[in-house]
């Protein structure tokens, strides 16, 4: 039966009151009986009112046809309209496209958006709202003429005359259309023509033909905007290929959560709590009409009532139901309504499932889905897999309620059962969902039993657990216990998870070695590993290996055993290769959750191998897979593994961002691990103090996760090494148990490497032996990262020639190792040859935070090593290092002397100076702004004078002549010296010559500003103006227009030295602007020409040539009021300043 609601007069009256100028939907119009579109014009006309003709009745007063004025006027906006900057900005950027489609179902705010845009736009905008009466070509053209006459009352006189002749003769449609298109050009370039509700006439051949002509033959820069409930059928392939079509769809028009929040807070004056707002956004999915109806329903409700109303928001009853019945579904044919009702019980809709539930063929179902999607009743959401089709939740509520009334509750249950049976062998989740809706728990449990391996392999625990509540009779079964154990572990309920996992496994007898019992053992093994019981997890893994001779579970068991063993004595390369073999099989079977975990483990193994690119790839793949299958803690671990790879590659900012996500998203169970790994990144490549803070935070979690205590202490030892607290570091490392299993691959190798570095730092006599022992263990584990680390430590102990050769080889193979062991290298910097120093310098420059403290410690060493450290610190130091370096520069003598030490650092750290010298002068030094009035006048004069000179330099005599022409030479020189001193103090309040960055230079004959440190707005404008050759580009003109903000240095308007610079700069600006405005006007770029001319007139109101151009532009674009206002200023200027009478406005 059709889904209409003929009795809902109350709903119709409410909608009529709410929608005509509402913020999210357009007015409800009354449609008169449409004339027959097939009736030929001029034949068999009725001599009376013409009701039987294809031509609407003539209006005796006008000689043409009656016009409903509201159809050709921009719909008014009610006060409660949200400014949607996201979409308005999009329209502004696309408005010069030939054709813009705005396609969405009713109530998504198409009309409101374009009405808001039109009222803010300068180009002339024609509006035509179509209805059923326009399904003939005469009415269509008639209203287009009427729309044009809203802008120009004399628009299209030829077309108007031909339309009048329809009462006495029969000009052909092509004649009328030809005249109309020819006269469209009189509206001017840049006009916008909006067709609202175009779907009402999209199937009319006559209208289609006219639209094709308009699209292809309208004036060059006219934009056509088509608002429709479905994508129009216009032939636009060529325009699309040329990039001349822009489109907004339902998804674009949805209110996002920020817009919904602003709508209720700012527009409706009713802010919503965050959780209520989230519920509202989820239920409405940004459907504008539903948001407006919700606002109407919320009036006079308390906060508690608002919360309850939104939580229970439904399309099955109330005003939303009436709106859906009247506007969205009720106008469809009965067959499509029946199709939509039956498919509404599907979570996602495809032709096969639609065929099952409706009884249609797959082909027919696909066609019905295509039509439903074209109408906007179902849509593809990007967040759904394969962009599946689905109903809006409120539309689905409405359809399901109608379906229950149509076929009864039993009929709905039978439909669910039909789909469940069909899906059992295809999609366990789909079958489970529909069996759950039938109440058939036995069949539901049977589905979950059959899919348990898929559930575990795909990480679909939460999906399976959602059905467990309805399986109370099966709660003690192993399958249910396994699923619940996964839910517990993801919620950090470790004891409960392990208890359930043990129960699931122990429910099988010794003789029950079936697939499910092995799966239960694998689950127990995995949870023991996750909970940190690594020794027990290894034993369970060995047990599972013995019980299974082949298959995925055996590979997983081997992988877990190898993971545990890799922390102390295992072969890292063998472990990584085993993981990759697992990954290939898991990918082939589609076990995405297992595959994600495997890739995460690959990334962790790559860290021990020192394979940063491999870690980045594996961790990125793991993150992608786990985000769709994991409850969260595994994603955090994958992000942490990604962070190491990025940091090792020198991308520390990206690494810190990934670490931040990992730490913030990690569950309590994994928080210690990601904090320790983040601290490692800081210790090896970044800031040791930041790393130490992370380790202190990790301590609180490691207390109840003892498997992380050793890792934390080892990381803390490295932090202490960086702070030269070697004795404390040695005590921490000595207390570690190298045979203890941990969650980090190559933990044993790393522990020995730390012992070796401590021995070198303490200058231990047995340092060489300790390094060799660490190196041997790392080679045994094939832990590439620590093999290279120990090799570097060995090189540091070698004579200079061997050391240099070793450092070069490490720099070529894995330069990040140099930073990881920076403390060991700094003590030998003076022995590096040029090649080795060059390679090391590149690494230091890449990781300045890592090297600052070791280099500061290094410069305390007297001699060549300290001097070399100082030169590197001069490249990467901080502000506090300048004084130390300058002091050292004075002490270094002979071959080590470097008098410029520290000056380069001072310049690199010096805040940039920008002089705002167009208009009133102001000086910005870094984040500090100094107004010109805050400086001594002579200080400001000297600064501005030097800016006017080529290269910001002048001779001393030129400065004295310009600024102190009347003083005796000795007095003038003394004044100059004082002025330079105070100018330097303006830039550097604590100015000391030895520590200065050198903003102002002064030798005996020349004074100049440093062009690297000081920039001026006028100098930048001068450079831009000089760059203009021939026809300037629009970007260059825009830059000149925005940068030139006034005449140079108004503070010195009467100083001779400023006059010529000011006048020549201003003349160059006006010349370029005049040329640009003229070119843009000729090329019909009116908006840009107006903007450029308006800015110029604001800067120089006496620029009468540009003002005349601006007047003409205003008149060309139909801005008559603006033209009249500007003419008033122009006329006054002509009379008062020139004493002549201005030409009439019309003549301009």
530, 491 in Cβ contact below 8 A? no
Let me know how long the chain is.
1148
DSSP state of 509: -
Query: Bridge partners of 913?
Result: 925, 1014
**Least confident stretch, 54-58, 841-845, 1057-1061:** 54-58
Residue 197 has pLDDT above 50, yes or no: yes
Q: Over range 128-156, report the average pLDDT.
A: 91
Please name which of 733, 753, 747, 752 lies closest in space to residue 793, comparing C-alpha atoms: 753
Higher pLDDT, 27 or 693: 693
From 365-369, 384-388, 532-536, 989-993, the region with the lowest mean pLDDT: 384-388
Question: At 169, phi and psi to the nearest 5?
Answer: -140, -175
What is the average pLDDT value for the chain, to the nearest integer?
85
**In the chain, how long is the greatest CA-to-CA distance?**
121
Which residue is listed with tokens 């051949």? Answer: 205
Question: Domain-by-domain residue ranges, the chain?
Answer: 1-20+255-331, 31-253, 567-797, 820-908, 911-1016, 1033-1046+1053-1147
Q: pLDDT value at position 979?
A: 95
**Interaxial angle between packed helices 937-948 and 969-987, expressed in degrees from 0 to 180 and rounded to the nearest 10:** 90
Bridge-based pairing of strands 389-391 and 928-931 is unpaired
How far apart CA 742 and CA 1107 sit, in angstroms, is 78
Per-residue model confidence (pLDDT) at position 511: 59
DSSP notation for 896-932: G--TTTTHHHHHHHSPPEEEE-BSS-EEEETTEEEEG
Quick one: pLDDT band at residue 1144, thresholds 50, 70, 90?
Answer: confident
Mean pLDDT, residues 271-294 taken together? 81
What 3-state DSSP class applies to 451?
coil
What band does 755 get if pLDDT is binned at 50, 70 and 90? very high
**Residue 2 scores a pLDDT above 70:** no
Q: Is it the case that residue 44 has pLDDT exceeding 50?
A: no
Pick the CATH number of 911-1016 from 3.30.565.10, 1.10.3720.10, 1.10.10.10, 1.20.120.80: 1.10.10.10
SS3 string, 761-818, reads: HCCCCCHHHHHHHHHHHHHHHCCHHHHHHHHHHHHHCCCHHHHHHHHHHHHHHCCHHH
Give per-residue pLDDT as tens, 621-640.
Answer: 999 998 876 656 788 999 99
pLDDT on residue 515: 80
CA distance 394 to 292: 14
Q: What gap in Å lies between CA 236 and CA 199, rounded to an integer?
A: 16
pLDDT at 507: 86
CATH entry 2.30.170 includes domain 1033-1046+1053-1147: no
Which range among 262-271, 282-291, 613-622, 734-743 has the greatest average pLDDT?
A: 613-622
- Over residues 391-414, the mean pLDDT reads 88
- Take residue 545 and report the two structure tokens written for it: 């290996």
- Amino acid 643: pLDDT: 97
Q: What is the pLDDT of residue 750?
A: 97
Does the pLDDT at position 179 exceed 70? yes
Given this model, what pLDDT does residue 277 score? 85
Q: What are 1090's two structure tokens?
A: 């107006």
**Domain 567-797 listed as CATH 1.25.40.10:** yes
Determine which of 16-25, 621-630, 1045-1054 has the lowest per-residue pLDDT on average: 16-25
Selected residue with higher pLDDT from 629 and 29: 629
Tell me how far apart the alpha carbons of residues 942 and 925 are, in angstroms, rounded to a whole number. Answer: 17
Percent of the chain with pLDDT over 90: 49
How far apart are alpha carbons 905 and 882 in whole angstroms? 7
pLDDT of residue 25: 36
Q: What is the mean pLDDT of residues 835-852?
A: 96
CA 822/CA 395 separation, integer angstroms: 64
Asked, colleague to colleague, whether 911-1016 and 1033-1046+1053-1147 share their fold, the answer is no
Tens digits of residue pLDDT in 527-563: 999 888 999 999 999 999 998 887 888 988 999 999 9
Q: Give the Cα-Cα-Cα angle 902, 906, 911 (nearest 5 degrees).
A: 175
Judged against a pLDDT cut of 60, whether residue 202 lies above it is answered with: yes
Looking at residue 387, its pLDDT comes to 53
User: Bigger pLDDT: 78 or 731?
Assistant: 731
Q: Which residue has the tokens 């073999």?
A: 581
1028: alpha, beta or left, given left = phi > 0 and alpha = psi -120 to 50? beta
Cα Rg of the chain (Å, integer): 39
Any idea what the Cα angle at residue 260 is, between residues 256 and 263, rounded to 5°? 140
Q: What is the pLDDT of residue 66?
A: 77
Burial class (CB in 10 A: 0-12, 13-18, 19+), 621: buried
| Residue-level pLDDT at 968 | 92
Listed residue (80, 105, 397, 85) closest to 251, CA to CA: 105
What was the pLDDT predicted at 475? 78
pLDDT of residue 55: 40
Strand positions, DSSP E, 1065-1121: none
What was the pLDDT predicted at 319? 61
Residue predicted with more confidence, 1014 or 66: 1014
Task: Label residue 383 by pLDDT band (50, 70, 90).
Answer: very low
* Residue 247, pLDDT score: 92
Task: For 724-742, write each residue's pLDDT tens digit.
Answer: 999 999 999 999 988 889 9
Side-chain half-sphere exposure of 271, counting CA atoms within 13 A: 3
Which residues are CB-neighbours of 209 under 8 A, at least 6 positions away?
Answer: 137, 173
Give the per-residue pLDDT at 512: 61
Q: Say whether pLDDT at 52 is over 80.
A: no
Rounded to 5 degrees, φ, ψ at 1101 are -60, -15
Question: What is the Cα–Cα distance from 566 to 743, expressed in whole angstroms?
Answer: 9
What is the average pLDDT across 638-643? 96
Angle formed at CA 499 by CA 495 and CA 501, multiple of 5 degrees: 120
Contact assessment for residue 213 and residue 181, using Cβ atoms and an 8 Å cutoff: yes
The whole-number pLDDT of residue 59 equals 41
158 or 394, higher pLDDT: 158
Q: What is the pLDDT of residue 867?
A: 92
Per-position DSSP letters for 673-688, written without gaps between them = HHHHHHHHHHHHHS-H
Q: Any bridge partners for residue 953, and if so which?
A: 1008
Residue 9: what pLDDT? 34
Given a cut of 90, whether residue 877 has pLDDT beyond it is yes
Closest C-alpha among 791, 778, 792, 724 to residue 747: 778
In this prediction, residue 315 carries a pLDDT of 59
Pairing, β 953-955 against β 1006-1009: antiparallel
State the pairing for strand pair 245-248/99-103: parallel
Condensed to tens digits (0 to 9), the pLDDT of residues 315-371 reads 566 666 666 666 667 778 889 989 999 999 998 899 999 999 999 999 999 999 888
Region of poorest pLDDT, from 70-84, 210-224, 345-359, 619-633: 619-633
1045, two tokens: 């903000």
Q: Which CATH superfamily is domain 31-253 in?
A: P-loop containing nucleotide triphosphate hydrolases (3.40.50.300)
Which letter does DSSP use for residue 912 in this model? P
């Amino acid at each position: 039966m059709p889904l209409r609601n003929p009795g809902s007069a109350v709903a119709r009256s409410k909608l009529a009151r709410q929608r005509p100028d509402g913020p999210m939907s357009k007015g409800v119009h009354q449609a008169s009986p449409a004339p027959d579109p097939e009736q030929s014009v001029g034949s068999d006309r009725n001599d009376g009112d013409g009701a039987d003709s294809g031509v609407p009745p003539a209006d005796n007063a006008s000689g043409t046809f009656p016009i409903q004025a509201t159809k050709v006027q921009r719909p008014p906006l009610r006060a409660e309209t949200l400014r949607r900057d996201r979409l308005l900005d999009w329209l502004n950027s696309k408005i010069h496209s030939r054709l813009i489609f705005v396609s969405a179902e009713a109530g998504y705010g198409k009309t409101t958006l374009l009405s808001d845009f039109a009222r803010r736009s300068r180009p002339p905008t024609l509006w035509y709202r179509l209805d059923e009466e326009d399904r003939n070509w005469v009415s269509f053209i008639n209203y287009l003429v009427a729309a044009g006459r809203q802008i120009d009352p004399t628009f299209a006189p030829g077309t108007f005359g031909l339309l009048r002749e329809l009462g006495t003769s029969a000009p052909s449609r092509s004649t009328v259309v030809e005249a109309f298109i020819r006269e469209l050009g009189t509206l001017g370039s840049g006009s916008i023509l909006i067709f609202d509700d175009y779907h009402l006439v999209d199937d009319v051949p006559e209208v289609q033909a006219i639209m094709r002509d308009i699209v292809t033959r309208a004036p060059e820069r006219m934009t056509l905007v088509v608002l429709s409930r479905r994508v129009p059928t216009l032939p636009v392939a060529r325009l699309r290929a040329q990039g001349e079509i822009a489109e907004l769809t339902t998804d674009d028009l949805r209110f996002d959560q920020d817009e919904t929040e602003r709508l209720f807070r700012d527009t409706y004056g009713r802010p919503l709590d965050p959780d209520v707002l989230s519920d509202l956004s989820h239920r409405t999915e940004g459907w504008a009409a539903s948001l407006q109806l919700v606002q109407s329903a919320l009036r006079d409700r308390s906060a508690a009532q608002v919360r309850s109303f939104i939580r229970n928001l439904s399309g099955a009853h109330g005003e939303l139901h009436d709106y859906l019945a009247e506007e969205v579904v009720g106008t469809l044919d009965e067959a499509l309504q029946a199709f939509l009702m039956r498919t509404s019980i599907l979570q996602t809709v495809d032709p096969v499932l639609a065929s099952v539930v409706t009884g249609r063929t797959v082909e027919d179902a696909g066609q019905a889905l295509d039509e439903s999607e074209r109408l906007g009743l179902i849509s593809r959401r990007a967040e759904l897999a394969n962009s599946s089709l689905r109903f809006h939740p409120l539309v689905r509520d409405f359809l399901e309620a109608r379906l229950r009334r149509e076929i009864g509750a039993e009929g709905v249950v039978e439909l669910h059962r039909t789909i469940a049976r069909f899906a059992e062998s295809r999609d366990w989740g789909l079958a489970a969902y529909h069996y759950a809706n039938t109440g058939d728990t036995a069949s539901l449990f049977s589905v979950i039993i059959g899919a348990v391996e898929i559930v575990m392999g795909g990480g679909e625990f939460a999906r399976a657990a959602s059905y467990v509540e309805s399986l109370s009779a099966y709660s003690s079964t192993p399958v249910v216990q396994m699923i619940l154990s996964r839910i517990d572990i993801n919620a950090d309920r470790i004891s409960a998870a392990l208890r359930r996992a043990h129960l699931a496994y122990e429910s099988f007898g010794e003789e029950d070695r079936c697939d499910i019992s092995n799966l239960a053992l694998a689950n127990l093994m995995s949870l023991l590993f996750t909970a940190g019981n690594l020794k027990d997890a290894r034993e369970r893994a060995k047990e599972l290996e013995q019980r299974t001779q082949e298959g995925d579970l055996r590979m997983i068991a081997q992988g877990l055993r190898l993971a545990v063993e890799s922390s102390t004595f295992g072969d890292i390369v063998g472990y990584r290769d085993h993981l990759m073999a697992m990954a290939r099989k898991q990918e082939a079977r589609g076990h995405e959750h297992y595959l994600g975990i495997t890739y995460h483990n690959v990334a962790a193994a790559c860290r021990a191998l020192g394979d940063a690119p491999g870690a980045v790839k594996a961790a990125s793949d793991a993150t992608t897979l786990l985000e769709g299958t994991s409850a969260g803690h595994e994603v955090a671990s994958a992000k942490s593994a990604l962070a190491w790879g990025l940091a090792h590659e020198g991308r520390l900012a990206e690494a810190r961002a990934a670490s931040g996500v990992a730490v913030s998203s990690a569950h309590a169970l994994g928080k210690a691990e990601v904090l320790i790994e983040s601290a490692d990144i800081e210790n090896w490549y970044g800031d040791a103090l930041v790393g130490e803070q992370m380790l202190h935070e990790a301590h609180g979690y490691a207390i109840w996760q003892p498997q992380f205590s050793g890792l934390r202490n080892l990381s803390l030892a490295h932090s202490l090494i960086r702070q030269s607290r070697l004795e404390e570091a040695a005590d921490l490392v000595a207390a570690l148990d190298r045979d203890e299993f941990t969650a980090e691959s190559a933990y044993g190798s790393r522990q020995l490497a730390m012992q070796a570095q401590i021995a070198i730092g303490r200058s231990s006599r047995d340092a060489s032996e300790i390094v060799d022992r660490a190196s041997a263990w790392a080679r045994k584990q094939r832990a590439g990262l620590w093999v290279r680390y120990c090799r570097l430590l060995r090189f540091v102990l070698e004579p200079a020639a061997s050391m240099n050769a070793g450092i070069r080889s490490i720099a070529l193979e894995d330069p990040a190792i140099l930073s990881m062991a920076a403390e060991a290298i700094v003590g030998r910097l003076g022995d590096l040859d040029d090649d080795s120093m060059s390679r090391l310098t590149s690494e230091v420059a890449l990781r300045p935070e890592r090297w600052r403290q070791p280099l500061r410690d290094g410069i305390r060493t007297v001699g060549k090593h300290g001097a070399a450290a100082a030169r590197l610190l001069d490249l990467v130091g901080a502000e506090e290092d300048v004084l130390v370096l300058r002091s050292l520069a004075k002490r270094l003598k002979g071959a080590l002397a470097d008098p410029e030490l520290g000056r380069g650092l001072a310049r690199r750290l010096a805040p940039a100076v920008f002089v705002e010298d167009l208009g009133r002068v102001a000086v910005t030094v870094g984040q500090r702004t100094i107004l010109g009035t805050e400086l001594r006048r002579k200080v400001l004069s000297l600064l501005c004078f030097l800016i006017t000179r080529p290269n910001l330099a002048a001779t001393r005599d030129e400065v004295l002549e310009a600024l102190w022409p009347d003083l005796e030479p000795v007095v003038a020189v003394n004044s100059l010296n004082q002025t330079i001193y105070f100018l330097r103090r303006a830039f550097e309040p604590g100015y000391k010559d030895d520590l200065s960055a050198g903003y102002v230079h002064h030798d005996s004959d020349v004074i100049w500003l440093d062009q690297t440190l000081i920039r001026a707005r006028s100098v930048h404008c001068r450079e831009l103006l000089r760059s203009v050759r021939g026809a300037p580009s629009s970007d260059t003109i825009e830059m000149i227009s925005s940068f030139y903000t006034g005449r140079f240095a108004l503070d010195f308007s009467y100083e001779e030295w400023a006059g010529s610079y000011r006048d020549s700069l201003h003349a160059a600006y006006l010349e370029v602007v005049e040329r640009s405005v003229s070119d843009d006007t000729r090329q019909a770029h009116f908006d840009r020409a107006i903007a450029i001319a308006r800015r110029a007139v604001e800067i120089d109101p006496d620029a009468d040539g540009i003002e005349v151009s601006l007047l003409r532009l205003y008149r060309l674009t139909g801005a008559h009021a603006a033209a009249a206002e500007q003419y008033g200023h122009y006329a006054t200027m002509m009379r008062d300043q020139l004493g002549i009478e201005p030409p009439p406005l019309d003549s301009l």
